[in-house]
Each structure stands twice: as structure tokens, then as C-alpha cells.
Amino acid sequence: MAIEVRIPTILRNLTDGAKAVDGEGSTLSELITDLDKKYPGIAARLVDNGQLRRFINIYLNDEDVRFLGGIDSPVADGDTVTVLPAVAGGMR
């Protein structure tokens, strides 16, 4: 078993076009480190200075990890992690 990570269009250039990839780890941070070994560059698109980038939403199953433990959220085999670009903006 592994953790399934669903990849948004904007990051599929790093995963050879794959929509979903498998990774391992006991926290989201470890999972991202593991992914970066297989898909170099992906960590830098998700994390900046040890924090999740604000332009990116990461979900653990059905929850936004910002409402869980952020990058330290525990993850386990069988979980699904979904990455989506945040959609935001405004007049300024």
C-alpha cells in the first residue's frame, strides 16, 4: 500500500504527465520529500521555507490540510492526497 497523490495539470510536467502518483511517508512533509526523489522539483512547487505555498491547496482525503496539521499532518497508507492550485485574486 502507498499514499495516492493526485497531481494538478500545472504540475504534471514533473510527473511525466501522470494524474496520480504513489508516495510514502508518515507525515505530509515526509511524503513530499519522498515524491521529490522520484519527481525532482515537485517539493519546491509545494513548499517554500518549510511552509505550504499559499498558491497551492493540499487535501488529505476530504480535508484541507491547513485545517489539520499543515505540512506536519500525519498521513498513512491508503490515504489520498490531492493537490490543487488555489484560485484567488482581486482588484489590487
Partner 1 sequence: MLRIDRSIYDQIVAHARRDHPDEACGVVAGPEGSDRPERFIQMVNAERSPTFYRFDSLEQLKVWRGMDDRDEVPVVIYHSHTATEAYPSRTDISYASEPETHYVLVSTRDADTIEFRSYRIIDGVVTEEPVEITGAG
**β-pairing, 3-6 with 80-85?**
parallel
84 binds partner 1 per the rule CB under 8 A: yes
Could you give the count of Cα atoms lying within 13 Å of 47 in the half-sphere of its Cβ?
Answer: 17
> Of residues 10-29, which lie at the interface with partner 1 (CB under 8 A)?
10
Q: How many residues belong to the site for partner 1 (CB under 8 A)?
A: 19
Give the residue, chosen from 16, 17, 50, 89, that forms a contact with partner 1 under the rule CB under 8 A.
89
Rg (CA), the chain: 13
- Residues making contact with partner 1 (CB under 8 A): 9-10, 55, 57, 59, 62-64, 66, 82, 84-92
